Amino acid sequence: MNLQAKNHQNSTPRCVQLRKLLESPDLEFLLEAHNGISARIAEQAGFKGIWASGLAISAQFGVRDSNEASWTQVVDMLEFMSDVTSIPILLDGDTGYGNFNNMRRLVKKLEQRNIAGVCIEDKVFPKTNSFIDGERQPLADIDEFCGKIKAGKDSQSAPDFCIVARVEALIAGWDINEALRRAEAYHAAGADAILIHSKLSRPDEVVSFAKEWQQRLPLVIVPTKYYSTPVEVFREAGISLVIWANHMIRASVAAMEQVSRHIQKHQSLVQIEDQIASVDRIFELQGADELSRAQQQYLKRKQTPHVIVLAASRGHALHELTDDRPKVMLSIGGKPLLRRLVDEFKKQSINNITVVAGYKAEAIDVANIKLRINAAYDQTGELSSLVCAEDAFHDDMIIMYGDLLFRSYILHDLLEHELEIVAVVDSNLNNPHTGHTQDLAYCSHPDNRSIFQHEVSLKCVCDQPVPGQGEASGRWIGMVRFRQQGRKWVEEALRELQGRDDFANLGMPELLNHLIEQGHVVHVHYVHGHWLDVNALVDIGRAHDFARGINP
Ligand code: SPV
Ligand code: MG
């Protein structure tokens, strides 16, 4: 569901919703909002409607509540507010931004943006906020204002779009009779509700007005100045709608002042961090989740595998080089091995990288990886580490050793395969740069090094030459990809192997061999050199050369 679609969550048109609020026998409430995010917050807080306050919208622009922001700027902001909400928005439309003709255009533009209604006040354009020299502000001519109401009503296309007429007589220092006279005229002109405004710190004026008014039209109030009045008083007086008119802007100003002063003074974010919304909360309010889902649906991006890197071992053969760090943090050509690996993944747009660490895990400071810890790294082997990353298993995953260096094409070419299990085997058994004898790969066919390669499968991976198997076809380099069913088979194999007493000693070759014994085909992707692993001190010099582009 995108944010726009969200608007249809409540299938009742928003102007109908607003009309229901105005006409409901219960006391209802609107909360001020002044931009998209505050509107969303108001809706999430449970409000059934929003007051798009002129004071707050002008304030968030940093201008005065005196029609300094143009009406189109206000309407643009309303569009953002409307797009991210599904509850009705009542615009504080000041004086309608001009005469009857401006009012007609305003109503049309508001309806186009799914705004449920507009409140206009009987003052003169350009108006000023009612709480700034209210008495000195001239009131509109009653007939002229009635013409504006009529023009607005005649130009609305949805029958339930609401026009609220705001009576400023009490603000301007007139008595209740003038207020009633005006309200009556606005009622006759077609207004859907009357907003009676007061600047007293007690509700007396509005309560007396309500008594006289006798609910001839729904009555709306803005208790900014008489805020301490319990809402029960309004309920008893027969008020329909209360507008909490400026509390979101005031709350955000107070928070911003506090935070900005603190950061300026302390040059630190430490105390502040827990007091402010998390970045994730901002993403949530922006609807980031929905965009991720939409990307999956519409952006047919090349799917890349997840990678699990086994990096728990110390690398004893590297002696004091690994006193304070695991092998994968050894610097090769100025960059830790693990960083080099992550860079290789990035080149192939692989971003989901899980590293299983163990020995000196705290020394691993490579960004953009998820860390899993095999706490028993010194008594267990690779499969125990792999189990620590089971939560990161994916329908397309590559499992590899953390001490590998390889030319980029090896990973790139592995990504081209669509088979369920593909292991990378180096057919160059004389590769001088991988001098140890581990992980000999016995395959169905040797590497014929032509582009018309047979389908080759792995028969087994062994540490030692296997009698009766003939020549090994190469060496498994410590990189294998599992797709679709392959993941399930790995999970099953791990379950089965975990039943063995010697599970703690098992490594990746045992996993591959088990899969083969279970009848699953482990396909072979042959390479011929162009990689090395770092196991012993002699490998370090080679690794530096490799990093500098000197070939193995
Ligand atoms: C507004 O919120 O802009 C209003 C209400 O018009 S008041 O500021 O109380 O006049
Ligand atoms: Mg206003």
pLDDT tens digits, 147-194: 999 999 999 999 999 999 999 999 999 999 999 999 999 999 999 999
Residue 467 Cα to ligand 2 middle (Å): 91
CB 84 within 8 A of CB 36: yes
- Residue recorded with tokens 């907003």: 195
Mutate to test the pocket of ligand 1, among 30, 66, 78, 92 (most ligand atoms within 8 A of CB): 92
Average pLDDT over the chain reads 93
Token digits for 216?
A: 């001839």
Segment 254-283, tens digit of pLDDT: 999 999 999 999 999 999 999 999 999 999
CA of 232 to the centre of ligand 2 (A): 25
Per DSSP, the three-state class of 375 is coil
Instruction: Give, for ligand 1, the residue of 30, 51, 53 to mutate: max count of ligand atoms closer than 8 Å to Cβ.
Output: 53
- Residues β-bridged to residue 425: 476, 526
Quick: pLDDT tens for 114-137: 999 999 999 999 999 999 987 888
Q: Are 108 and 155 in contact (CB under 8 A)?
A: yes
Predicted confidence at residue 544, as pLDDT, reads: 86
- Could you say which DSSP state residue 240 is in? -
Written as one string, the DSSP assignment of 253-282 is HHHHHHHHHHHHHH---HHHHTTS--HHHH
Pairing of strands 421-426, 162-167: unpaired
What residues does ligand 1 touch, defined as CB less than 6 Å away? 53-55, 65, 92, 129-130, 222, 224, 245-246
- In this prediction, residue 323 has a pLDDT band, given cuts at 50, 70 and 90, of confident
> Cβ neighbours of residue 64 under 8 Å, at least 6 residues apart?
58, 128, 129
pLDDT at 8 over 70: no
pTM: 0.72
Which ligand 1 atom is nearest residue 53's CA? 2
The SS3 assignment for 480 reads strand
For the cut 80, the answer to whether the pLDDT of residue 319 exceeds it is no
Please state the rounded mean pLDDT for residues 273-299. Answer: 95
Q: Are the C-beta atoms of residues 238 and 22 closer than 8 Å to each other?
A: no
Show the tokens assigned to 361.
Answer: 């895990």
Distance CA 143, CA 191 (A): 13
The Å distance, Cα 141 to ligand 1 centre, comes to: 21
Is the model's pLDDT at 7 over the cut of 50?
Answer: no
pLDDT of residue 246: 98
Q: How many CB atoms lie within 10 A of CB 98?
A: 17
Q: Which runs of E-coded beta strand occur in 114-236? A: 117-121, 162-167, 193-196, 219-221
Alpha carbon distance 392, 307 (integer Å):
9
All residues at 6 or more sequence positions from 178 whose CB lies less than 8 Å from its CB, including other chains: 169
By most ligand atoms within 8 Å of CB, the mutation choice from 246, 247, 249, 250 for ligand 1 is 246
Percentage of residues in the chain having pLDDT higher than 90: 81
- Please determine, for residue 18, whether its predicted confidence score (pLDDT) is greater than 50: yes
Q: Residue 141 gets which letter from DSSP?
A: P
CA-nearest residue for atom 2, ligand 1, is: 53
Atom of ligand 1 nearest to the CA of 58: 3
**Active-site residue set:** 65
Model confidence at 365, pLDDT cuts 50, 70, 90, reads confident
Q: Where is 527: in which H helix or E strand?
A: strand 523-527
pLDDT confidence band for 432 (50 / 70 / 90) = low
| pLDDT at residue 547 in the model | 87
Ligand 1 centre to CA of 54 (Å) is 6
Angle at 129 between CA 128 and CA 130, to 5 degrees: 110
Per the DSSP assignment, residues forming a β-bridge with 400 are: 309, 479
